[in-house]
Structure 1
Amino acid sequence: MSFLKPRRKTTRSPRVVGKGGDLQKLHIRVTSPRIVMIEVVRGLYRSAKIIMMLVLIGMIAWGGYLGIRHIFIDNEEYRLQEIKLETNGHINHARIVEVTGIDLDASIFAIDTDHIRKCLLSLPEVTRCDVERRLPGTLKITVDERLPVAWLQSAHYGFLGKVEGGVLADEDGVTFPCEGSLWETSRDLPVVMVNVAAMGTFHHGKKLKHPEVIRALHLIKVLTASNLRADWKPQEIMILNEYSLEVTSHDGSRAVFGMYDHERQITDFISIREHALKTLRAVEHINLIPKKNIPVKFAGAPILVPPQKKQTFPSLNDRDIKSIIDRN
């Protein structure tokens, strides 16, 4: 019945078995110019499809961008109308525009809030900054600033004291330059005069490495909290040495304080000044370091009262005595 079996259209190639018993196959790739052309056409077709898809996606994205720009950026309703500034210090709108370069005619969506935040935080007097958009046209900026308590004057570091562009310090000893509107609000602050160069490396925005200056700033803080009379408030504080500070008040009187125990010394200072005021005397100099027997020098030369001379009588001789007796 073998003649009923279907004949194979192909002949089976004999298996080639290696010495190790592994079956080996032969793969043959047939190529021709026609086959190469077909493959090239297929590749171009696939590339054209990808390019068309990318073009379509780009057109959709561009159209979306134009639509968003028309609705938000070019819309007059979202034009910047107000900069709402909240601060605990002295920075103003003009200073913010100068530092950040805000375009006052731009849309609120075109303003880079991160750039504004970084610019303001780069100022040594700024400790914190938040920038928010408030629709339709308000930009809210919240700033926390260092509050200056004194000027610094030092020939070693080139600090010029109470001048525009001088160096200010807060109560913690962090320094920053007097820029913008700080001059108008800080011109009446006292000056700390540093005659010794022991501050180490100096950088704005960082705490001074000078213990005597830090103690002088602490003294200013306590004096400010003591609610002194206007004439008794400090005008200058000179660092005399490692253990004493000399405070010159607005009325010209001078007082020597120690580096510590400021609360007790200020209490003595107020008591002495009040007593001198009641007795109509002006204080010229006080040394408040001693706890007892505080030396006080009053203004004006002491009035010296010349001593009274004894009453003298003319000496009487015998002739004068005889005439007096005869007269009686």
Structure 2
Amino acid sequence: MSFLKPRRKTTRSPRVVGKGGDLQKLHIRVTSPRIVMIEVVRGLYRSAKIIMMLVLIGMIAWGGYLGIRHIFIDNEEYRLQEIKLETNGHINHARIVEVTGIDLDASIFAIDTDHIRKCLLSLPEVTRCDVERRLPGTLKITVDERLPVAWLQSAHYGFLGKVEGGVLADEDGVTFPCEGSLWETSRDLPVVMVNVAAMGTFHHGKKLKHPEVIRALHLIKVLTASNLRADWKPQEIMILNEYSLEVTSHDGSRAVFGMYDHERQITDFISIREHALKTLRAVEHINLIPKKNIPVKFAGAPILVTPQKKQTFPSLNDRDIKSIIDRN
């Protein structure tokens, strides 16, 4: 068929074959100003797309931040309205605000609860602290404190005794300064007089390394649990030496206790004081270390009390018994 265009015969270009029969190809990169311009435009287009995506993501994030801030932080409904404090000790709201720096006008979501917790745990009198938010505007703070049982007075360590800013100790011998409202609640606690400098290194929030002070604090604990009369409660406890403590009561009487066996000594102390009260005598000094033949020194003459009731005379049987006792 003559109208069909005859197929053009072509010859393949010879392939370059290297040594060993390996086929080699020739790569040629053609460049021109127009090609370079096209590549630059393509690169700028890709970069513009990436930048636009980043800007869009940033705008979405910023808008979300402003929305969250408007809903929560700037919302008057979530302003701090109350600090609910639960404690077993004496710390109050004013002390917490002073230590933590809480902004009372801030939103409850703007308050850093971890910062508050760390600030309160840095106080030597605090053993545990939990801080949580309660919507809409309550900040709940739960604090466990060391409860002071005595003041410490020592010339060697500069402990001034019963004064504001003095040093307090709990029943375990852990010390902390008297700050905030502690003075009002601790002013009636007894003072432990430390005359010997054997306390070792001293740090607030750590247990004292002074066995005599620890025993004096144990004596205070047992005395407190004994439900003593108000005048018999300890006012001062002086460490006399390594084996004895001298307790001065609120009525001025003095009693020497040992470092141990406090329960038995306090039982003897109460028995002697009750007997002296019934016999209208005032105790000046007692040495409670001996288990028997306890030496007691009475002050002055017996106290005379005017009877409030009409005097009653003993019956005949009572007179007979009294005459027999006197006769013997």
SS in 2 for 1:103: coil
Residue-by-residue CA offset, 1:185-238 (whole Å, 9 max, x unaligned): 000000011111111111111111111111111110000000001011000111
Residue-by-residue CA offset, 1:92-145 (whole Å, 9 max, x unaligned): 111111111111111111111111111111111111111111111111111111
User: Structure 2: which 5+ runs fail to align?
Assistant: none
CA gap of 1:209–1:325, structure 2 versus 1, over 3 A, is: closer
Q: Distance in 2 between matches of 1:319 and 1:75?
A: 90
User: Structure 1: which 5+ runs fail to align?
Assistant: none
CA gap of 1:78–1:37, structure 2 versus 1, over 3 A, is: same
Deviation, structure 1 residue 149: 0.3
Deviation, structure 1 residue 147: 0.4
Match of 2:38 in 1: 38
Q: Distance in 1 between matches of 2:323 and 2:271?
A: 69
Name the Cα RMSD after superposition.
11.4
Deviation, structure 1 residue 173: 0.7
CA gap of 1:255–1:179, structure 2 versus 1, over 3 A, is: same
CA gap of 1:14–1:234, structure 2 versus 1, over 3 A, is: farther
Q: Distance in 2 between matches of 1:149 and 1:272?
A: 25
Q: So what's the TM-score if we normalise by structure 2?
A: 0.85
Deviation, structure 1 residue 274: 0.8
CA gap of 1:73–1:310, structure 2 versus 1, over 3 A, is: closer
CA gap of 1:58–1:314, structure 2 versus 1, over 3 A, is: closer
SS in 2 for 1:317: helix
Q: Distance in 2 between matches of 1:97 and 1:15?
A: 89
Match of 2:22 in 1: 22
SS in 2 for 1:14: coil
Deviation, structure 1 residue 71: 1.4
CA gap of 1:277–1:61, structure 2 versus 1, over 3 A, is: same
Q: Distance in 1 between matches of 2:64 and 2:318?
A: 140
How many residues matched?
328
Residue-by-residue CA offset, 1:264-293 (whole Å, 9 max, x unaligned): 111111111111111111111111111111
SS in 1 for 2:280: coil
Deviation, structure 1 residue 34: 3.1
Q: Is the 8 A contact 2:280 2:303 kept in 1?
A: no
Identity of aligned residues (%): 100
SS in 2 for 1:2: coil
Deviation, structure 1 residue 301: 7.5
CA gap of 1:247–1:309, structure 2 versus 1, over 3 A, is: closer
Q: Distance in 1 between matches of 2:226 and 2:318?
A: 79
CA gap of 1:322–1:50, structure 2 versus 1, over 3 A, is: closer
CA gap of 1:81–1:201, structure 2 versus 1, over 3 A, is: same
SS in 1 for 2:242: coil
Q: Distance in 2 between matches of 1:326 and 1:159?
A: 58
CA gap of 1:18–1:324, structure 2 versus 1, over 3 A, is: closer
Deviation, structure 1 residue 148: 0.3
Match of 1:270 in 2: 270
Deviation, structure 1 residue 27: 4.2
User: Which of structures 1 and 2 has the bigger CA Rg?
Assistant: 1
CA gap of 1:106–1:4, structure 2 versus 1, over 3 A, is: same
Deviation, structure 1 residue 177: 0.5
Residue-by-residue CA offset, 1:27-79 (whole Å, 9 max, x unaligned): 44444433333222222211111111111111111111111111111111111
Q: Is the 8 A contact 2:281 2:303 kept in 1?
A: no
SS in 2 for 1:128: strand
CA gap of 1:11–1:35, structure 2 versus 1, over 3 A, is: farther
Deviation, structure 1 residue 296: 1.1
Deviation, structure 1 residue 11: 7.5
Match of 1:281 in 2: 281
1:320 matched to 2:314: no
CA gap of 1:11–1:91, structure 2 versus 1, over 3 A, is: farther
CA gap of 1:8–1:48, structure 2 versus 1, over 3 A, is: farther
Q: Is the 8 A contact 2:124 2:176 kept in 1?
A: yes
CA gap of 1:17–1:268, structure 2 versus 1, over 3 A, is: farther
